A = this chain, B = another copy of it.
């Protein structure tokens, strides 16, 4: 996340910042992003669509890039609560169950937004860490957790390269969206699971 928690000793003088605007602005940003892409998007467009002033945006986010990062990050979070993850008893079952989560293949706008946010990365090298933390790491953590659970119960090889394997599906999805511009279908994700991950970890 880019903007953070209220300062501990805020004297809260004057008018309070209207945080209901945050969501409206972020949603306007996503609209513009989906319509025009990151490069075509201008801060004035977002402000105009949100009926907000530019200063209001910059009071909340330091730059266009951070606004977009936050917009994407807040789009839909993978639930970070491991206790709510599916537990089907098999690694393959778990992974396939994750596919149904709306976080991956949710719709046209989301995919265009994802492409849009990727296109921003090289503009703002200093922000890749934020993007990684906000978008990638949560999903990797889930994969890591599921793999480790499978190791713990003796289902898969103990020496599986968890770190690399956890990365694979993210890398494959990104690649498909960005380069091949094909939708991330269930079949595609299953083929990654069945063609790569499961074979690689079987004993």
Asked whether any CB of chain B lies closer than 8 Å to the CB of A171, the reply is yes
Q: Which residues of B contact A116 (CB under 8 A)?
A: 122
B122 with A115: CB separation less than 8 A: yes
B128 with A161: CB separation less than 8 A: no
Please give the distance in Å from A179's CB to the nearest CB on chain B: 5
Per the bound structure, the CA–CA distance linking A114 and B12 in Å amounts to 40
Asked whether any CB of chain B lies closer than 8 Å to the CB of A52, the reply is no
Q: Which residues of B contact A136 (CB under 8 A)?
A: 179
Q: Which residues of B contact A171 (CB under 8 A)?
A: 168, 171-172, 174-175
Number of interface residues of A (CB under 8 A): 44
Contacts known (A123-B39, A195-B161, A195-B200); A175 close to B179, Cβ less than 8 A: no
The answer, among B118, B125, B180, for a CB contact under 8 Å with A132, is: B180
**Which residues 132-184 in A have Cβ within 8 Å of B in the complex?**
132, 136, 157, 160-161, 164-165, 167-168, 170-172, 174-175, 178-181
A122 with B132: CB separation less than 8 A: no
Asked whether any CB of chain B lies closer than 8 Å to the CB of A194, the reply is yes
Greatest chain B CB density within 10 A among A112, A132, A194, A195 is at A195
Interface residues of A (CB under 8 A from B): 37-40, 112, 115-123, 125, 128, 131-132, 136, 157, 160-161, 164-165, 167-168, 170-172, 174-175, 178-181, 191-192, 194-197, 199-201
A-B contact pairs, 10 of them (CB 8 A): A37-B123, A38-B119, A39-B123, A125-B181, A161-B196, A168-B196, A171-B174, A174-B178, A174-B179, A200-B200
In the complex, besides A119-B119, A170-B175, 8 extra interface pairs with C-beta distance below 8 angstroms are A112-B122, A118-B118, A132-B180, A161-B195, A164-B192, A164-B195, A164-B196, A165-B196
